[in-house]
Amino acid sequence: MSDFWLVNGWRQQSRATRDIDLYLRQARERGFQNYALTRQGKWYWLVCSADTTLSQQFDLALTVRRTFAKLYQGIYLALWQGQIVCVAWQGQRLQHCVACQHDADGLHHLELLLQRVSDNGNGRPSALLAKSLPEEVVRLCEQHLCQWRLLFEQCTMKELQPTKAAKLKSIQQAPPWQQRQRVFALSLVLMLAAAAIGWYAWPGSATHVTTGRRSRGS
């Protein structure tokens, strides 16, 4: 399952569906092929991918957030395919979902990211360190997340269980509210058509026949 995680996708967030509609139009114009859209509290999380080689992909950010749903603020760190993966969130907002190379440049980028995340910590957030995380990454967390709870031996990305909501679908498929609007519009058209057919087919000629017979009898 770990081969199918989407990490470095094109991500957008908003509380308004009109913004998501705009982002999806931009994604189609940019050539993205798939997307996942989920609601996290009052926010919509959108991620788009241009990858067409895999039959299925799952959004890592949503899966991690749902896995650790009880944590208001957290950061998840894991080793995946030779890269260091970082997912950070605060409440209903996603802060980061990136994969860095496991080299000097990648560790430097991760260190800057940890510094930014630590500056925005509220209360006592949690850092979730997956099993088999490189020792140098653990030291960075101990250095820059000293005010955080460090939770070791957490599940690896291979052990994460994605939900149906995290699965990417074709960019050509409309989001749920557009589908509901289309169903409502179609239902309304069918109702109006049925009412019109019923009105025209109603037996109103009987009145004219009865009136004509009375005139001949008189």
CA distance 109 to 83: 12
pLDDT(213) > 80: no
Determine the residue type at 91.
G
pTM over the 0.85 mark: no
Q: From CA 36, how far away is CA 9, in angstroms rounded? A: 10
pLDDT band at 56 (very low <50, low <70, confident <90, very high): confident
For residue 134, CA distances in Å to 17, 106, 148, 150 come to: 40, 13, 19, 15
pLDDT the model gives residue 23: 97
pLDDT in tens, 11-41: 999 999 999 999 999 999 999 999 999 999 9
- What is the pLDDT confidence band of residue 205, given thresholds at 50, 70 and 90? very low
Residue 216 confidence class, pLDDT cut points 50, 70, 90: very low
DSSP class of 172: T
The CA distance from 213 to 93, in Å, is 78
127 touches 151 (CB < 8 A) = yes
Give 40-51 pLDDT, tens digit per residue.
999 999 999 998
Over residues 130-176, the pLDDT tens digits come to 999 999 999 999 999 988 999 999 999 999 998 888 999 999 998 87
